[in-house]
Every structure is written in structure tokens, then in C-alpha cells.
């Protein structure tokens, strides 16, 4: 079945974890700073032995589009980010990493968020079985040669800013950025 946008049945605006800090600026003036509190995230630039990248396509309701992305997601409370990245890779794609290394840590939006995105490069990934998706997830897996992924990024085919940043970190590690 092809991926399709969701039909909106109702919209509300419940607050996420929202914190207000009353701060004192260097000038001595008070300032109210607002922070959205999120769990850590992890994503994976996953490469097969023949240099194909494991990508996913999924509907993203915020922009109401099908998005080409890296596998990844929320690191569970108390979970090591590396283990969270491995879990997300397997759940979303059915692939297991041969070797996985951290290539970067990114603050998604340090002006108003406190969380960290952990970026990993997984090499020699192999298909190990079925996806184990959450109830709301419909994900298509795509294997794309690394050179084509770089071209896609240049042409705007990757629009998720955090995934572009993670791809850049991985390409630096691989010596593909000059």
C-alpha cells in the first residue's frame, strides 16, 4: 500500500514538557526563558557492505509530506544512546549494524530545547528480519548508493535538517567532505 498523508479528525494544542525559567541577565535585568524538554534522539547513517545507504520514507504530519530520512528516533529513558540507535535501526528497517560509531552530537534547537541528537555511522549493515514498527509508523525502506544520497542532499531531497547534519558528520568521518 502506498504511503499517504493522514486525515485530520481533530486538532488540539496540549503543551509538551514546557518549562519557564526566570533568569537574571548579565545586566541584572530579569528575563523569562522558555524551554521545551524532549528526550534525547539518535539517528543512524547506515551503510551496507556495497556502499548503499539504508534510508526510510515516512509521512511527517508537521509538514504533511512523505519524508526521506535516516533511521532513528527517541532514546528511551535510561537507555544508552548507542543502544537506542541500534534498536531504532532494527525496528524501522530490519537491519543490524556490523560496526557503529558515534560521529557527532547535535543540539536540535539550543535556543528553546535542552535535548541532544546523537549521530551514528553504522557500517557493514545486514538485513536481519522484519521491521518492528510503532502503531503510528508506516515506513518504507530504500537502499540508495552513497553517491546518489550525496546528490539527493545537494538537490534538496533530504529536507530534515537534523538528518542533513548527521549525514554531513558521517561524510566527514568517511573522508567524503573536502
Domain residue extents for the chain:
39-173
Confidence of residue 5 (pLDDT cuts 50, 70, 90): confident
Average pLDDT over residues 33-48: 95
Q: What is the mean pLDDT of the segment spanning 80-101?
A: 97
Whether the pLDDT of residue 15 is over 70: the answer is no
C-alpha cell at 121: 555511522
Closest CA to 43 of 65, 74, 80, 67: 74
- For residue 162, which of 129, 101, 113 has the smallest C-alpha distance? 113
pLDDT tier at 13 (50, 70, 90 boundaries)? low
Least Cα distance to 56 among 75, 41, 74, 43 occurs for: 43
Q: Please give the CATH topology (third level) of the domain spanning 39-173.
A: Nucleoside Triphosphate Pyrophosphohydrolase (3.90.79)
Residue 20 confidence class, pLDDT cut points 50, 70, 90? confident
pLDDT at 107 over 90: yes
Mean pLDDT for 146-173 is 95
Q: Between 6 and 158, where is the model more confident?
A: 158
- Report strand pairing: 41-48 vs 72-74: antiparallel
pLDDT at 177 over 90: no
| The three three-digit cell numbers of residue 173, written as one number | 568521518
Amino acid at each position: 500500500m502506498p504511503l499517504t498523508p493522514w486525515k485530520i479528525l481533530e486538532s488540539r494544542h496540549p503543551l509538551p514538557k514546557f518549562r519557564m525559567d526566570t533568569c537574571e541577565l548579565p545586566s541584572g535585568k530579569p528575563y523569562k526563558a522558555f524551554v521545551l524538554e524532549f528526550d534525547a534522539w539518535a539517528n543512524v547513517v547506515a551503510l551496507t557492505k556495497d556502499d548503499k545507504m539504508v534510508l526510510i520514507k515516512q509521512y511527517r504530519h508537521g509538514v504533511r509530506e512523505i519524508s526521506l530520512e535516516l533511521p532513528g528516533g527517541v532514546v528511551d529513558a535510561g537507555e544508552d544512546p548507542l543502544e537506542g540507535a541500534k534498536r531504532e535501526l532494527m525496528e524501522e528497517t530490519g537491519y543490524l549494524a556490523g560496526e557503529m560509531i558515534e560521529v557527532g552530537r547535535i543540539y536540535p534547537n539550543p535556543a528553546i530545547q535542552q535535548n541532544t541528537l546523537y549521530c551514528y555511522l553504522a557500517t557493514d549493515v545486514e538485513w536481519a528480519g522484519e521491521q518492528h514498527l510503532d502503531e503510528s509508523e508506516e515506513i518504507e525502506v530504500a537502499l540508495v548508493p552513497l553517491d546518489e544520497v550525496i546528490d539527493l542532499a545537494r538537490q534538496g531531497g533530504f529536507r530534515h535538517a537534523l538528518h542533513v547534519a548527521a549525514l554531513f558528520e558521517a561524510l566527514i568521518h568517511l573522508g567524503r567532505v573536502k
